[in-house]
Amino acid sequence: MDRLQSWTQQIKTMLAQGEKRHLLITGSRGAGKTTLLEHLLLEGLLDGAEHAGVCSYAVRDDGGCATKVMLRDRCTGQEQPMAYGDGKGKPKADREVLDHFGTQALYRAAEASGSWAAVDEVGFLESASESYCAALVELFNHKRVAAVLRKANLPLICSLLKRSDTLVFDLDEQQQTIK
C-alpha cells in the first residue's frame, strides 16, 4: 500500500471512531498536505467538501517566485488574487479581498449542502484579515472542516490546533514512522 493510501486509511479509521469532528492536515512545505486533502476528496471521504470551502494556490514566475496567490471559492468556482509577490520574499496579502471575497466564500461554505468543507490552506496571509479569521473559526461551528495548515506559530493556526474536536494529522510525524 502506498503512502497516500496508508494515510487515507489511517484518517478514515480515526474519523470513524467519532471522537473528532474536524481534520487538520499539517506538515512541512512539500510534505503532501494538499495532495492528501485532494485524495480524500476524490475518495469521497469528505461529503460535500469538493463544493464547500476555499482553496489557495501560488502563481509563480519563471524563477519560481510567487507573483500572486489566488483564492478560489469551492462553491462558485470564482477566484480572486488574495496576495501579490514582489519577487523578493513573502507575498503581501490583499486584506480587502480576504475581508470580502474570502469571508463570503467561507459563509457560503457554511450554508452549502453536505457535512464537510475543505480549506486549503491556512497560513500567514489569512491572518491579515480579522473578518476572514472569524469566518473560518465560525465555519467550524457549522460544518466538519478538513483544513490544510501551514506549520507556523500564528494565533489562528495555534487556536485551531488546540481545538479538542480536531484530529491533527501531521505528515512530518507520519514520515518519521515510515523511516
DSSP state of 68: E
The helix or strand, by DSSP H or E, that contains position 80, with its residue range, turns out to be: strand 79-84
Q: Which residue positions in the chain have pLDDT lower than 50?
A: 178-179
Contact 133, 127 (CB under 8 A): yes
**CATH for 50-174?**
3.40.50.300
What's the pLDDT score for residue 175? 73
User: What distance in Å separates the CA atoms of residue 66 and residue 88, rounded to the nearest whole number?
Assistant: 9
Task: Give CA angle at 82 (78, 87), nearest 5°.
Answer: 130
User: Cis omega before residue 121 (within 30°)?
Assistant: yes
- Give the strand pairing for 144-150 and 116-122: parallel
What's the pLDDT score for residue 178? 47
What's the pLDDT score for residue 164? 95
Q: How many CA atoms lie within 13 A of 168 on its CB side?
A: 16
What's the pLDDT score for residue 71? 98
Tell me which residue has cell 461529503.
47
User: What distance in Å separates the CA atoms of residue 109 and residue 86, rounded to the nearest whole number?
Assistant: 31
What's the pLDDT score for residue 176? 65
